[in-house]
Amino acid sequence: MIGFARRVGFAGMVLAPTFGFLMAVASGAAGLTAVPGQPVYDPAQWVLVANHLHSAPGGSNGWSSGVKHILTYCSARNIEFALMTDHNAIKTWFLPEFRVTGKTTPVGGMEWTSEQGHANLIGFTASTPEQAILPCGIRGQAPCAQEGQQDHASMVKQVHERGGLVIINHPVLKGYKWPAGTCGADAVEVNRSWSDRYGVAARQWWHDKLLKGDHITGFGGSDYHYFRPLSSSDEEEGLEESEHSNEASPLSPDIETPVNLVRVGEKTVAAVMDAVRAGHAQVLSDLTQPRVFLGCDANGDGVFDDYMMGDRVRLAEGSRVVIQVRVLGGKGQRLRVFDAKVGEMLSGRGPEVHDITSDDFVLALERTASAGKDRFLRTEVGERGANVTNPLYY
Ligand SMILES: [Zn+2]
Ligand SMILES: [Zn+2]
């Protein structure tokens, strides 16, 4: 764990003159209380969410550790929501163990699985296991209108009509690539996959969409599988952590690698889904990684709480805007700030890189607003996606 509760003296902060950054200032927080001016981390409003969990045999390319184990495992790590996504199946939603377990609420989803890409469909309505939303041409579904061609956009529309949201999975994974565009999806995985070890290619795919002006949310999904058979006692008890080790299954990531930290008004499934849609989320490559908060002061009260990651800053075009980036628990790592304009070439400017010199670190950035039209700023910690925030559109 990171020492969020550590006390550090307030060293103040100063803004650089006019252009741009930079003022990396060591600043302080008394416990978790906000220091005036800084984006706040209120643990009561940020919840950990695990996504892309294969939870049932038959829907998991083989074996799974099962819903009960997944929920018990998440609860022990304060992961409060677990998004269950089996391949083209929603049978798990109807199991008796699919219920609040300890601190963790299961969320019904499925992995829409086609040769032209995979996507997690989350939280759509279904009253029987037969009401999954399936690709054309499989399991008794109508053949595809055009042979072998999925209609991604109408799938997304159907999910939306049924109250759900769509997260594109491993967009560049060889053999399962999503089409070039978002097709109206709400979010995309921006972390590693089997063929993209640190998620660099996935984040490039995402950034390219942001540069095209598409406000699609970056989200994390572990693609947790469990490839060894379970014994009956495993099923009764849930698994021990040691038994769950990847030594048994080097191909499968852990449930919390990565994990999402999501800002919710209240701790409900609906609030989590709204937060995903709004981009009020950051992706941590594992639970030990730094937390990062973006804040903007628009009403001039000196508190950077009017806009956060995912938001569009509604300030008049050309006006001065100050954005603060606060990093907790990142001392010794590097903060990468991607500040971009819609329409720029992907191969354009790289990120600005700042050393994170304290465990409660604030960077103040001064910019000129575009009324949220075509500028955005997002951050990553390190080059392997230790922490990835959603953009603030300014
Ligand atoms: Zn997949
Ligand atoms: Zn998967």
Instruction: Clarify whether residues 270 and 352 are in a common domain.
Output: no
Domain count, the chain: 2
Q: Which ligand is nearest to the CA of 176?
A: 1
Distance of alpha carbon 229 from alpha carbon 227, whole angstroms = 7
Instruction: Clarify whether residues 270 and 366 are in a common domain.
Output: no
Domain limits for position 361: 23-33+290-393
Instruction: Clarify whether residues 119 and 268 are in a common domain.
Output: yes
Express each pLDDT in 201-254 by its tens digit.
999 999 999 999 999 999 999 998 865 544 444 444 444 333 333 334 445 678
Give me the mean pLDDT over the 310-332 stretch.
93
Instruction: Clarify whether residues 232 and 378 are in a common domain.
Output: no
Instruction: Clarify whether residues 223 and 316 are in a common domain.
Output: no
pLDDT tier for residue 348 given thresholds of 50, 70 and 90: low
* Residue 37 pLDDT exceeds 60: yes
215 CA to middle of ligand 2, Å?
Answer: 24
Q: Which ligand is nearest to the CA of 118?
A: 1
Judge whether 3 lies within some domain.
no
pLDDT tier for residue 112 given thresholds of 50, 70 and 90: very high
Residue 39, CA distances (Å) to 85, 327, 366 in order: 33, 10, 15
Tell me, what's the pLDDT at 168?
Answer: 98
Do residues 295 and 263 lie in contact, with contact meaning Cβ atoms separated by under 8 Å?
no
What CATH number does residue 351 fall under?
2.60.40
- Give the residue from 65, 12, 56, 8 showing the smallest Cα distance to 36: 12
Instruction: Clarify whether residues 305 and 232 are in a common domain.
Output: no
Distance of alpha carbon 390 from alpha carbon 215, whole angstroms = 10
Instruction: Clarify whether residues 261 and 298 are in a common domain.
Output: no
Please identify, among 261, 284, 307, the residue that sits at the C-terminal boundary of a domain. Answer: 284
Tell me, what's the pLDDT at 346?
Answer: 60
Backbone angles phi, psi at 49, to 5 degrees: -130, 120
Instruction: Clarify whether residues 51 and 179 are in a common domain.
Output: yes
Distance of alpha carbon 167 from alpha carbon 219, whole angstroms = 8
113 CA to middle of ligand 1, Å?
Answer: 7
Please identify, among 252, 284, 316, the residue that sits at the C-terminal boundary of a domain. Answer: 284
Residues with Cβ within 8 Å of 150's Cβ and at least 6 positions away in sequence, in order, are 114, 116, 117, 135, 136, 144
173 CA to middle of ligand 1, Å?
Answer: 8
Residues with Cβ within 8 Å of 312's Cβ and at least 6 positions away in sequence, in order, are 215, 372, 393, 394
Within a 10 A sphere around the Cβ of 253, how many other Cβ atoms? Answer: 21
Q: What totals of helices (H) and strands (E) does the chain contain, helices first?
A: 5, 19
Judge whether 257 lies within some domain.
yes
* Residue 63 pLDDT exceeds 80: no
Instruction: Clarify whether residues 371 and 299 are in a common domain.
Output: yes
Q: Which ligand is nearest to the CA of 119?
A: 1
* Residue 6 pLDDT exceeds 60: no
Tell me, what's the pLDDT at 354?
Answer: 96
Give me the mean pLDDT over the 309-338 stretch.
94
266 CA to middle of ligand 1, Å?
Answer: 30
Judge whether 6 lies within some domain.
no
DSSP state of 130: G
87 CA to middle of ligand 2, Å?
Answer: 7
Distance of alpha carbon 371 from alpha carbon 391, whole angstroms = 14
* Residue 34 pLDDT exceeds 60: no
Do residues 179 and 151 lie in contact, with contact meaning Cβ atoms separated by under 8 Å?
no
Instruction: Clarify whether residues 202 and 318 are in a common domain.
Output: no
Question: Lowest-confidence range among 294-303, 339-348, 368-377?
Answer: 339-348
For the chain, the distance separating the N- and C-terminal CA atoms, rounded to the nearest angstrom, is 33
Tell me, what's the pLDDT at 38?
Answer: 82
Please identify, among 284, 300, 324, the residue that sits at the C-terminal boundary of a domain. Answer: 284
Judge whether 16 lies within some domain.
no
What CATH number does residue 204 fall under?
3.20.20.140
Within a 10 A sphere around the Cβ of 35, how many other Cβ atoms? Answer: 19
Judge whether 211 lies within some domain.
yes
54 CA to middle of ligand 2, Å?
Answer: 6
Judge whether 181 lies within some domain.
yes
Instruction: Clarify whether residues 208 and 305 are in a common domain.
Output: no
193 CA to middle of ligand 1, Å?
Answer: 9
Distance of CA 207 to the CA centre of its chain: 14
Q: Which ligand is nearest to the CA of 52?
A: 2
